[in-house]
C-alpha cells in the first residue's frame, strides 16, 4: 500500500504548490501539514487524519487490514478504500470464523461481485488466511502474533525519500506468517500493515499526525 499510494498521490500533487514544504508535506487550508498522498483526495485525507497509523489490536480488525492490504497489492490504496464497505459486505464483516467456512459457492459469488477486486488468487488467499487465523488462536491469536514483531524503534522520516517501504521487522513478520499458512503477506505488504496499524510511526516529522497513535512517545515528533 505505502509505496503505490505515495507514488500515485505524489504524481497528482502540484509540484510547484506554494503550500508544499521542503520535506514534502503540504499544508492544507486548515493549516495542518500532511503528506502528498493525503492532501488531495478527500477520502484519503479523512483516512489519514482519523485512522491511518492508529493501533489495531483485535483479531477481526487485523484480519480485515491483512486482507485489504493483500487485495491492494498492485493497485492504489484509494481503490481499496473506496471499495471497503463492499469488501466488508462480501466477506461478512471479515469475521474469520465465517470466512474460513467459505466454499466454492462463495468464491463464485465473490468473483461475480463488481463491488470488490475480483482476483481469484487473492480471494482464495483471504479464505485461507481466515483458516490460518483460527489456527493461531491456539498460540495466543493473530493480534498477539503480529504485534510481537513490533520493532524496538520507529523511523523518524523528515522527507518523503526517507520513508522506508520495507524493514527487517516486516520481512520477519512476512516469513513467520507464511510459515503459519498465510498468503499475500510479502515484506512490503507487511510493512504497509505495520504503518497502518500503529506498529511503527512513519508520519513525517512535522505532520500533524506524528506521535498521535499513543504507541510511540510524543518526543519523537
**203 appears as a binding residue in the annotation:** yes
From the list 47, 48, 52, 147, the catalytic residue is 47
- Note whether 207 and 25 are within 8 A (CB): yes
Has 48 been annotated as catalytic? no
Taking the model in full, what pTM does it have? 0.89
CATH number for the domain whose boundaries are 55-197? 1.10.340.30
pLDDT tens profile 158-182: 999 999 999 999 999 999 999 999 9
pLDDT tens per residue across span 5-24: 444 444 333 333 435 677 89
What are φ and ψ of residue 117, in 5° steps? -85, 115
Query: pLDDT tens, 130-143?
Result: 999 999 999 999 99
- Choosing from 37, 52, 64, 69, the catalytic residue is 69
- Among 92, 91, 75, CA closest to 5: 75
Closest CA to 26 of 42, 14, 44, 8: 14
In this predicted structure, the answer to whether residue 31 has a pLDDT above a threshold of 70 is yes
Say which residue, 8 or 219, is predicted with more confidence: 219
Check residue 135 and give its pLDDT. 98
Identify the weakest region by mean pLDDT among 9-18, 86-95, 178-187. 9-18
Return d(Cα 29, Cα 217) in angstroms, integer: 28
Question: What are the structural domain ranges in the chain?
Answer: 55-197
Place of cell 515528533: 221
pLDDT at 157 over 70: yes
Q: Which of 77, 147, 195, 216 is catalytic?
A: 77
Extract the C-alpha cell encoding 107: 468464491
Name the region of 43 (left: φ>0; alpha: ψ -120 to 50; beta: rest).
alpha
Q: Say whether 52 is catalytic.
A: no
- Residues in CB range of 7: below 8 A, 6 or more apart: none
Amino acid at each position: 500500500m505505502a509505496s503505490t499510494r505515495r507514488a500515485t498521490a505524489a504524481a497528482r500533487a502540484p509540484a510547484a504548490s506554494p503550500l508544499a514544504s521542503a520535506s514534502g508535506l503540504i499544508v492544507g487550508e486548515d493549516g495542518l501539514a500532511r503528506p502528498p498522498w493525503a492532501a488531495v483526495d478527500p477520502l484519503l485525507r479523512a483516512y489519514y487524519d482519523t485512522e491511518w497509523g492508529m493501533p489495531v489490536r483485535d483479531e477481526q480488525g487485523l484480519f480485515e487490514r491483512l486482507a485489504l492490504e493483500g487485495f491492494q497489492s498492485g493497485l492504489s490504496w484509494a481503490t481499496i478504500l473506496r471499495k471497503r464497505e463492499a469488501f466488508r459486505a462480501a466477506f461478512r464483516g471479515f469475521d474469520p470464523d465465517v470466512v474460513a467456512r467459505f466454499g466454492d459457492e462463495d468464491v463464485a459469488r465473490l468473483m461475480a461481485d463488481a463491488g470488490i477486486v475480483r482476483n481469484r488468487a487473492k480471494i482464495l488467499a483471504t479464505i485461507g488466511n481466515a483458516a490460518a487465523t483460527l489456527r493461531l488462536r491456539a498460540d495466543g491469536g493473530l493480534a498477539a502474533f503480529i504485534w510481537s514483531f513490533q520493532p524496538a524503534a520507529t523511523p523518524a522520516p523528515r522527507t518523503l525519500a526517507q520513508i522506508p517501504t520495507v524493514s527487517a521487522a516486516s520481512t520477519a513478520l512476512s516469513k513467520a506468517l507464511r510459515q503459519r499458512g498465510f498468503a499475500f503477506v510479502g515484506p512490503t505488504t507487511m510493512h504497509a500493515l505495520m504503518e497502518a496499524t500503529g506498529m511503527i510511526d512513519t508520519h513525517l516529522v512535522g505532520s500533524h499526525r506524528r506521535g498521535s497513535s499513543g504507541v510511540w512517545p510524543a518526543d519523537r515528533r
